[in-house]
Structure 1
Amino acid sequence: MFEKLLSDCEESKQIIKIFTEEELKKATNNFNSNNVIGQGGFGTVYKVETAGALDYMHSSTKIIHRDIKSSNILLDDDYTVKVSNFGISRSVPKEIMEVLTAVQGTLGYIGPEYFSSGILTEKSDVYNFGVLVVELLTGEKVNSLAAIKRNRSLVDHFIMSLVNAESLVEILDDQVKVDCEPGQLNQVVYIVKSCLQRERQAKPMMRKVKEDLLSVQTSLGLVHSTQEIVSFISNSDVPE
């Protein structure tokens, strides 16, 4: 099914690689946890490639992943992003803007509007992505023991920290504090905050998120590829 969906997008200049499960295991050292984004010290760079992959899926193939989270974003030996686990993904006709479904995903990543209504749109992935970046910025997992102890979700904790600069700095991962200039960090925080808006209409499209993150990456002097590489486990077809 993925091969059919992607071959229909011949006008695209982007390159899509389809990996078998065996190839993906090899590329990620049998899904070694060190290759999961957000670990090993390189997560803050490669979140941009993830945004590009999601933008391609939404704009060219109209696939909504529904379960974007750190354990489903893998890195191979060349630190190339692999978007995996399409078990609950949904293929939506391009002319359809939203679809009513049974709510599926991982608690903590599911957007409040999708959770309450069951209405699935591309913005559901945008919210997932925002949560993923919050994990990278804070070094905390969305369903961590710390969140349970403070009786407040990681997302709520992050949003509440934005009231002033001191509060935000307190919850940031130490490596992020070292790597990011205040101005660049503020840009990323603004982008993430927009992804986490409760109302669907207030969230940006993934294309806008990608472009804004690329702008930040360029300001950091980091080289980024002009090709989007999205990797699928080919035996995990999108549900009809």
Structure 2
Amino acid sequence: MTTGLSRPVSKVRVAMGVIVLVILIISGSIIGIAYFNKETKPTQQTVVAVPTPNSAPQYLDPFNDNTYGWNLESEPGKYSAQIGGGNLTLEDDSHKLLWEQLPGQRSFSDFTLYVDATLTKGDPQNGYGVYIRGSANANSDLATYYRFELYGDGAYGIYKGIISDNGQTGYTKLVDYTPSTAVNKAGKVNHIRITAQGSSLSFTVNGYQLQTLNDTSYAKGTIAFFVSNTTDAKPGAQAQFSEFGVYKPGA
């Protein structure tokens, strides 16, 4: 027999319902956190041991003095280049890119390059790094090249210099601006290792292999270091380079 009155709810049943609800909420939270961490976790880099070169260098400069004849022309308030104390120091104060080529117009094809580089002054968005396989044309001493650039905020990019049909110089991005936990930020040294062998170009920083590219455009050329004072940064970007050597590929 039924009536229109509701039966009283058991306190035990209420308590059990609350417990089940709490368990569901906690489980959902754990699953959500695990998924979020999985989606936002930085990409793991491939660790590559940085070996001690096992062959005689093709080029070596401890930057104690200007024995090799680097171009140290400077203009106060605009740019400067200095050598001493184990460092090549480049500074640009006019929102431009300042590069410094190896003396003697030396050309390298296949090699492994080592250098330590630090952004010692300037905003985090300023860049610094290395040109390889560079060559000139009538308009520029570095018209074609591969440029490996680190940024003060802990990112990197790889660019290729090109010449248009009308002879104008420019560049294209092989690897766009990419944040990386492998790259130390401004004020801290980055140990750079670049290997160029045939069309293969490998870029390693602090023991982490960032990129290996294949490009057949340029087979040989000069090496240069640079610092870039970007237009949206305050005037003044300074980078120091040390422990520089060029060896046979894989050394």
Name the TM-score, length of structure 2 as normaliser: 0.26
Query: Computing the radius of gyration over CA atoms, which structure comes out larger, 1 or 2?
Result: 2
More helix by share: 1
Name the TM-score, length of structure 1 as normaliser: 0.27
Instruction: Name the structure, 1 or 2, with higher relative contact order (CA <8 Å, separation 6+).
Output: 1
